[in-house]
Amino acid sequence: MSIELLDRLNERRAVVGVIGLGYVGLPLAVEFARGGLRVIGFDLDRSRVDLINQGKSYIPDVPTEMVEALVARGKLAAATDFGRLSETDAVIICVPTPLRKTKEPDISYILAAAEQVKSHLHSPQLVVLESTTYPGTTDEVVLPMLKDTGLVLDKDFYLAFSPERVDPGNKQFQTHNIPKVVGGVSAASTEIAAALYQTIVGEVHAVSSARVAETAKLLENTYRSVNIGLVNEMAQLCYHLGIDSWEVIGAAATKPFGFMAFYPGPGIGGHCIPLDPHYLSWKARLHGFEARFIGLAEEVNSHMPDHVVQLVQDGLNAHTKAVKGSRILIVGVAYKRDINDVRESPALGIVDRLMHKGATVSYHDPFVPEMSVDGRGSLASVALIDEVLSGCDCAVIVTDHSDVDYARVLRLAPLVVDTRNVTRRLAMPEFEGKIVRL
């Protein structure tokens, strides 16, 4: 094992490279820089690189003041020139891992990043993959690429997987206080990767292999997907039975053991829950195993935008109106509260379905000034003024941003479909007839 590399990490003399400066990579780069290491972030997007080098942040969870201070101290820099990987002691890959249209894994970004690492691999150096992927990617795909250089594992380079656990918008849990799972392709790789992360987090949980670490990440999000699917199905069932699903969950949650409350919503979004379970089920199918729970949860969750549209339709019918020709205002389009990310947001499907039925759709989101709707161009956020609220036929609360005045929405809109249960605490008898809850 490289004592030299361990010493550089433990003494915080190491240079860390982070490939991919999005929602995962930039917060991680900032934490290493705050921990005293020098960090070079790599990205193909010149505008991102320029903003960082100017001391500016484009990620809501990372304050510009923090980036500015780290850049000024020489602890953080960004580059599009991957040749600077030769300056690094450790490289962390944080690139996107989307799905193809066939819902099969697309690891092209990982392959491209690994090619850059391969071209500039030197001894001694640690390489860590953080991008969520199927079990076996690190040792079946990345390891052979690095071995092609002629450098030797556990002598010249070390390789590990450590899953990202970023939760955008979460004020309580951020990179520095979320335990890191680390699994190397060898025992020495695990030890050195653990030493890297111990410079910025309080707890590192080492596992026996990269495959275990890869699968642990997929289990985390599959667990959430399956439980959200269960409660979303319960919400639909309760709607058909005329029972308040939120009251049911609140009652069940009083049990101090054997129950963990999950809550229904308009669908799942973001870069993890809608995608990650498919990586696990795809790998399972290659081995002749069908992961039925994963598929069923995906089916239920992907149906939720249709259920929301049904709620809109039922609410308008009760007001003797049709969806066609109605003016529908979507309140919140980001996939979760208080962030600007619309990746896989259920709002996209809801907007598309309502437009298909002939509705005139507008939206308000203080975090998303503009968004694209597949095949329908783009929409710009409208101001939530009195005329907009009173002039719509139905307001649909899809994302419960903190700074929206929901009492005003409830007072002025003639009909409100609430998919997040934010109106319950505001409800008064005179408003109950205009609220449809998920």
Token pair listed for 396: 């649909």
Measured distance CA(66)–CA(362) in Å, rounded: 36
Burial class of residue 175 (count of CB atoms within 10 Å of its CB; 0-12, 13-18, 19+): buried
State the Cα angle at 384 between 333 and 377, rounded to 5°. 45
Token pair listed for 212: 């275990």
**Paired strand residues for 128:** 92, 160
Q: Which entry of 94, 238, 272, 392 is annotated as an active-site residue?
A: 272
238 is catalytic: no
Measured distance CA(430)–CA(135) in Å, rounded: 55
Reported residue count of the chain is 438
Measured distance CA(88)–CA(39) in Å, rounded: 8
Q: Is the peptide bond before 124 cis (omega within 30 degrees of 0)?
A: yes
Helices (H), 37-154: 46-53, 64-72, 108-119, 137, 143-147
State the Cα angle at 147 between 141 and 152, rounded to 5°. 135
What CA dihedral angle connects 109, 110, 111 and 112, to 10 degrees? 50
- The 3-state DSSP class for residue 191 equals helix
Contact indicator for 140, 108 with CB cutoff of 8 Å: no
**Paired strand residues for 182:** 206
Token pair listed for 220: 């985390």
If one counts every other C-beta atom within 10 angstroms of the C-beta of residue 116, the result is 17
Which residues are annotated as catalytic? 272
